Structure 1
Amino acid sequence: MLKCLIIDDEPIAQKIIKGYLEDTPGLVLFGVCDNAIEAIEVLENHDLDIIFLDIEMPKLSGLSFLKTLEKAPETIITTAYREFAVEGFELSVADYLLKPYSFERFLKAVNKVKKRIEAENRMDKGSGADRPSYTYFKSGRKNVKVNYNEIVMIEGLSNYVKIHLNDNRILVVYERLSHLQKVLPYEKFARIHKSYIVSLEKIIKYGVDSVEVGEKEFTIGKSYKEKFLAKIKKLNP
């Protein structure tokens, strides 16, 4: 079941989406937020699959809210304002529903999200035998070859990352951490925090709240804990 969150300040809009969710197999309503500020706290503490997001809301608009997220769930915009569509798709939203929209149009958007999630899962869980043992990272003007087993951890810093390699080497790459999470082999790396990806084979110790990699200890973010511990358990039954 895909867990869904409604972020909308209009009670009627909330009611409509709730009804559509009840009639759609494979979806379950996790919760409802009246504004984006409430949603930030929810997403920090829970791993959700889809958000239905209004744009015009008090305190923080839907699009501004999306820009604050390092790792957003699949997003379906629900709004009465057509003029924000281009900006929405630039933020990689799955679909853009103009109010009022029909159940048929709602289903079309949901099916698009399901296909995106299925495609990402296939990519994440692809066989390690099908992957090369290295990749190239663009650092400065050069593409640098890095073997996956050289990577200890990756630290996200705004629009660039520091890739910590064996022998205390550091490679600076102008790429977002969320993009590297999709590129790196699922079976070799894990996102444990909004700012950290770690190599599973480099983990020395782990608990429910922290991971020790090399000589450093890192906190496991609340929104990443469930997936991380499930992955560790699956890889080490």
Structure 2
Amino acid sequence: MLKAIAIDDESMALEIIKSHASKVPFIDLEAVFSNAIEGLEYQRNHDVDLVFLDINMPDISGIDLASLLPKETMVIFTTAYSDFAVKGFELDAMDYLLKPFPLSRFMKACQKAQEWKELQPNDASDHLFIKTSEGQIRVNFSELLFCEAAGNYVTFQLDNEKLISRMTFGELEQLLPSSFVRTHRSFIVNKNRLDKIERHQVHLGKHIVPVSVTFSGSIL
């Protein structure tokens, strides 16, 4: 069950979200807010998995509010303005609903959030599941050497194979344990698999990964 809230300055929009959410069995819409600040305060004091968030609001924009939420809080933007879509996805939003959205589209967005939540490892987890063109594939952390970003895709380099999944680095960092660190804006490495550390690069088996000045301190 996903614990959710909705923040929108339009009462009609909140009523639609309440109606749609009541029809999704895994969504528990705990509260709705027409005041963005009140919604943010509620989120800070309660365990909230998902926020349905309008973008164009008088006190603070949804874009700015989303940047104040914890990284693990999922956001589904709801707005009447399509030109905000790119900025929304830059913030790793789970989805972007353009008003007026039907129940079917709302459910699709909620399903995406539910699937993401299920893929999140707990503290004791030794693996994650990633979505590829061949389905959900288990990746053991002990076998993962490094990850490389390319746009909205990530390549997972394992001992004996490569896997490619559509996700951002921001999403990936929420799934990996602390033994994985960035060495470069496009690379995350498994510190437990490092064979050699040099000034501008590290070695993991036969692979060489660059180290930038910005992230050089993270591998020591």
* SS at structure 2 position matched to 1:51: strand
* SS at structure 2 position matched to 1:111: helix
* SS at structure 2 position matched to 1:68: coil
Q: How many residues align?
A: 145
Q: Which residue of 1 aligns with 2:183?
A: none
Q: Distance in 1 between matches of 2:124 and 2:57?
A: 37
1:7–1:115: structure 2 CA closer, same or farther, 3 Å change rule? same
Q: How does 1:48-197 map to 2 (within 5 A)?
A: 48-121=48-121, 125-127=124-126, 130-132=140-142, 182-184=175-177
CA contact (8 A) 1:124 1:185 kept: no
> Offset at 1:179?
7.2
Q: Which residue of 2 aligns with 1:3?
A: 3
Q: Distance in 2 between matches of 1:63 and 1:36?
A: 11
* Unaligned stretches of 5+ residues in structure 1: 137-174, 187-237
Partner amino acid for 1:36?
A
Q: Distance in 1 between matches of 2:70 and 2:178?
A: 20
Deviations 1:20-77 (A, max 9, x none): 1111111111111112211221121111111100001111000011122343511111
Partner amino acid for 1:183?
L
TM-score, normalised via structure 2 length: 0.58
> Offset at 1:180?
5.7
Q: Distance in 2 between matches of 1:43 and 1:9?
A: 17
Q: Distance in 1 between matches of 2:80 and 2:62?
A: 13
Q: Which residue of 2 aligns with 1:36?
A: 36
1:75–1:15: structure 2 CA closer, same or farther, 3 Å change rule? same
Partner amino acid for 2:86?
V
Q: Distance in 1 between matches of 2:78 and 2:9?
A: 11
Deviations 1:104-159 (A, max 9, x none): 111111111111111114x755238x544xx99xxxxxxxxxxxxxxxxxxxxxxx
CA contact (8 A) 1:66 1:72 kept: no
* SS at structure 1 position matched to 2:120: helix
1:84–1:106: structure 2 CA closer, same or farther, 3 Å change rule? same
Q: Which runs of 4+ in 1 moved over 3 A?
A: 178-182
1:43–1:72: structure 2 CA closer, same or farther, 3 Å change rule? farther
* Unaligned stretches of 5+ residues in structure 2: 128-139, 147-168, 180-220
Q: Distance in 2 between matches of 1:127 and 1:72?
A: 19
Higher relative contact order (CA 8 A, sep 6+): 1
* SS at structure 1 position matched to 2:105: helix
Q: Distance in 1 between matches of 2:12 and 2:106?
A: 16
Q: Which sits farther off after the overlay, 45-54 or 81-90?
A: 45-54
* SS at structure 1 position matched to 2:32: strand
Partner amino acid for 2:177?
L
CA contact (8 A) 2:71 2:174 kept: no
Partner amino acid for 2:57?
M
Percent identity between the aligned chains? Answer: 41
TM-score, normalised via structure 1 length: 0.54
Q: Which residue of 2 aligns with 1:199?
A: none
**CA-atom RMSD in angstroms:** 2.9
